[in-house]
């Protein structure tokens, strides 16, 4: 496992300066993300199918678990979602036009809740980093701390794991800015299988991030419910 991925998902105990959740506030865990084109979706779903052969309990990429490139994950008040969307729309008017070209460089993984989470790591292009920075800054005024399992999409028979809750809590600054590692998560599998998978040859490929969207997050940081899509 690379030191870079560990830095991004180690859930460091960073100090959080965002306001705490107030009593009675309805909070949602959101992912502001890039929705990829068919080139990435097809590759991610093919990899996901292999992972599920090894670990049938893993999730299936598709409409309920959308392949995506995270820009930022935060807890926000449900009442502020429209304001968050407006801020993201305004912040992304300048900069690189969509679709944005991206490159998948290799497969990597991290151990999370006892299984291997497999990702397609991407190059940190200047255009992508500028977009990530703009979105992080746009959302910051609306971010709150202290979100719990009830902030996520609930799946019957499955609890939101502690790693998922902490990851959103500490995404800024632990996984943003200089620590931002763009990737598409392909799914989960047993650790020994993941080690073999990472040893296989990988041919880098280009794809495009077609639009920006806000999703309600589920377990393992899955993008489960689209709440908003950027319109231009």
- Which pLDDT does position 20 carry in this prediction? 65
- Which pLDDT does position 17 carry in this prediction? 52
Helical packing angle, 126-139 and 81-91, nearest 10°: 150
- Which pLDDT does position 165 carry in this prediction? 97
Q: Which residues pair with 111 in a beta bridge?
A: 116
- Number of H helices and number of E strands within the chain? 6, 8
* pTM of structure: 0.89
Domain boundaries, the chain: 24-102+124-184+206-229
The kind and range of the H/E element at 103 are: strand 100-112
- Which pLDDT does position 95 carry in this prediction? 78
The kind and range of the H/E element at 227 are: strand 223-229
| 132 CB-side CA count, 13 A | 23
- Which pLDDT does position 94 carry in this prediction? 86
In this prediction, the residues of the chain whose per-residue pLDDT falls under 70 are 1-18, 20-24
Distance CA 46, CA 103 (A): 17
Query: How is domain 24-102+124-184+206-229 classified at the CATH fold level?
Result: Cyclic Phosphodiesterase; Chain: A, (3.90.1140)
Report how far apart, in Å, the C-alpha atoms of 84 and of each of 5, 21, 184, 225 are: 28, 17, 23, 16
Are the C-beta atoms of 57 and 181 separated by less than 8 Å? no
Q: What's the chain's Rg over C-alpha atoms?
A: 17
């Amino acid at each position: 496992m690379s030191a870079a991925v560990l830095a991004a998902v180690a859930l460091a105990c960073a100090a959080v300066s965002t306001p705490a959740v107030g009593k009675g506030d309805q909070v949602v865990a959101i992912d502001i993300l890039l929705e990829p084109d068919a080139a990435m979706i097809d590759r991610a779903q093919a990899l996901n199918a292999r992972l599920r052969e090894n670990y049938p309990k893993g999730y299936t990429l598709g409409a309920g678990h959308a392949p995506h490139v995270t820009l930022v994950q935060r807890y926000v008040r449900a009442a502020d979602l429209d304001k968050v969307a407006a801020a993201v729309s305004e912040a992304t008017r300048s900069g690189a036009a969509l679709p944005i070209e991206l490159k998948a460089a290799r497969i990597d993984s991290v151990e999370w809740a006892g299984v291997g989470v497999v990702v397609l790591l991407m190059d940190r292009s200047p255009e992508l980093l500028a977009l990530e920075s703009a979105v992080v800054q746009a959302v910051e005024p609306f971010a709150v701390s202290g979100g719990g399992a009830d902030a996520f999409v609930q799946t019957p028979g499955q609890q939101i794991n502690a790693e998922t809750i902490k990851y959103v809590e500490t995404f800024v600054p632990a996984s943003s800015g200089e620590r931002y590692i763009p990737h598409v998560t392909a799914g989960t599998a047993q650790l020994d299988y993941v080690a073999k998978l990472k040893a296989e040859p990988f041919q880098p490929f280009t794809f495009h991030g077609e639009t920006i969207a806000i999703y309600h997050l589920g377990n393992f940081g899955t993008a489960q419910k689209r709440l908003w899509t950027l319109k231009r």
